Amino acid sequence: MSDFKAQALKYHAEPTPGKISIEISKPAETVRDLALAYSPGVAEPVRCIAETPDDVYKYTAKGNLVAVISNGSAILGLGNLGPMASKPVMEGKALLFKRFANLDSIDIEVSHRTTEEFINTVANIADTFGGINLEDIKAPECFEIEKELIKRCNIPVFHDDQHGTAIVTAAGMLNALEIQGKDIGDATIVCMGAGAAAIACMELLIKCGAKREYIYMLDTKGVIHTRRDDLNEYKKLFANNTDKRTLEDALEGADVFVGVSGPDVLPAEALKLMADKPVIFACSNPDPEIKPELAHASRSDIIMATGRSDYPNQVNNVLCFPFIFRGALDVRASVINDEMKIAAVHAIRNIAKEPVPEAVLKAAEVTALEFGPEYIIPKPMDPRLLDRVSKAVSEAAVASGVARLVP
Ligand SMILES: NC(=O)C1=CN([C@@H]2O[C@H](COP(=O)(O)OP(=O)(O)OC[C@H]3O[C@@H](n4cnc5c(N)ncnc54)[C@H](OP(=O)(O)O)[C@@H]3O)[C@@H](O)[C@H]2O)C=CC1
Ligand SMILES: CC(=O)C(=O)O
Ligand SMILES: [Mg+2]
């Protein structure tokens, strides 16, 4: 067993199995404490909530509680391995919610037969939480699931693999293109993958100025084009009227590669087909579409990002989901809308242009970080993310009329 694999398993197993636990937040030592916490005291908030439902935010943990919900159908880039295999990832997301945004979070893994059954399960328990973070649910089912749950729930429902990934990708991409001296409106973009992350990333890049007709999206069958008759309604939106069929065809002269597909699908030789100064985001986890060492060996003018912590430029939704939920829950937003997503994009990208605090350099185990090819996006442990992204998101929620608490 490799050293890192052994360390990862030990980290998860010891001293207690798993990565999260529940703590009590009130005294529960004396007979009086218990009388307040449980019977008879607990009857008082019960009566208040029955009379005034919004009091649930005043007397329970709901307002600071996010459920991370999965069915394990697209666990990272590892595939459909089922609900229980997804539990370490979902516990991991809960850990990140707490660590970065002080949000309490619980993982829920759902076994189900039909999509409708999954939707009903989540909708029926939604009210107990302040927000729902859907995670690692494969396309195309994820689109219907999220749409239906947004309709049925009174709290923010956010599919992280779609929108968290898209927000961080857009933030990193706008910065990378700026450094390479390119305009997003002129960029030819190759997107490897046509699932949850891919569709959302491309839709948000279009909202940030990219041209739909300059995007070439690929799935396991190659380029998505107008003459294919096997496309679902989401892929159809990216069907390009083109003779390009292979990854190599699509990469010819392209400015950008976004990989949200699977490991090692981008050959180093193919990078040489791209235009000058390309941007390569190989975001599949844990193994990217191309290893950065291979990409850098292939050509020297690239900006390279991955989804991993152990290379420069980590384009990963961890830079978004804790902070967008913090901002949404702080103003009790009913939804997370486009205005809030775009506010998050700009708040994240702007941090990378400012001097980096000493504590961040220390946590990142580097001596310097400066806006440029090796630093296009902030580090997840940058404390400015919490202040700045959450505030921008809250303000956008208020301005767009979806906040129920106005500070
Ligand atoms: N860095 C980050 O923050 C994030 C990274 N990701 C990564 O993105 C990837 C996809 O996740 P997600 O969108 O949730 O999953 P989905 O299951 O929704 O989509 C996967 C897509 O990838 C395509 N695909 C898989 N293998 C290949 C291949 N060899 N060549 C071309 N296309 C391929 C599939 O094609 P088809 O439609 O033909 O089946 C499908 O369109 C994962 O590796 C995940 O780790 C996801 C979210 C966040
Ligand atoms: C980061 C993440 O959510 C994923 O790879 O699925
Ligand atoms: Mg995920």
Residues 233-285 have pLDDT tens digits of 999 999 999 999 999 999 999 999 999 999 999 999 999 999 999 999 999 99
CB 340 within 8 A of CB 331: no
- What local confidence, expressed as pLDDT, does residue 406 receive? 84
Instruction: Ligand 2, residue 283: give the atom nearest the CA.
Output: 5
- Which pLDDT band holds residue 291 (cuts at 50, 70, 90)? very high
User: What's the half-sphere exposure (Cβ side, CA atoms, 13 Å) at 84?
Assistant: 0
What are the tens digits of pLDDT across the range 319-347?
999 999 999 999 999 999 999 999 999 99
Q: Is 400 in the pocket of ligand 2 (CB under 6 A)?
A: no
pLDDT at 1 over 90: no
pLDDT at 349 over 90: yes
Q: What residues are in contact with ligand 1 under a 6 Å CB criterion?
A: 74, 76-77, 138-139, 161, 165, 192-198, 218-221, 260-262, 265, 283-285, 307, 315-317
What are the tens digits of pLDDT across the range 7-40?
999 999 999 999 999 999 999 999 999 999 999 9
The protein residue whose alpha carbon is closest to atom 5 in ligand 2 is 76
- What local confidence, expressed as pLDDT, does residue 219 receive? 98
Q: The dihedral of CA 49, 54, 56, 59: what is its sign? A: negative
Residue 36 burial by Cβ neighbours in a 10 Å radius (0-12, 13-18, 19+): middle
User: Mutate which of 261, 310, 311, 318 to test ligand 1's pocket (most atoms within 8 Å of Cβ)?
Assistant: 261
User: Per the confidence metrics, is the pTM higher than 0.95?
Assistant: yes
What are the tens digits of pLDDT across the range 186-208?
999 999 999 999 999 999 999 99
- What local confidence, expressed as pLDDT, does residue 145 receive? 98
- What local confidence, expressed as pLDDT, does residue 407 receive? 79
- Name every residue whose Cβ is closer than 8 Å to that of residue 289 and which is 6 or more positions away in sequence: 192, 257, 259, 261, 262, 263, 264, 265, 266, 282, 283
Residue 137 burial by Cβ neighbours in a 10 Å radius (0-12, 13-18, 19+): buried
Q: Is 316 in the pocket of ligand 2 (CB under 6 A)?
A: yes
Over residues 218-247, the mean pLDDT reads 98
Looking up tokens 């205005």, which residue turns up? 339
How far is residue 80's CA from residue 84's CA, in Å, rounded to a whole number?
11
Look up the ipTM and state it. 0.99
CB 163 within 8 A of CB 202: no
Residues with CB under 5 A from ligand 3 (ion): 136, 161
What are the tens digits of pLDDT across the range 149-162?
999 999 999 999 99
pLDDT at 314 over 90: yes
Kindly report the length of the chain. Answer: 407
pLDDT at 228 over 90: yes
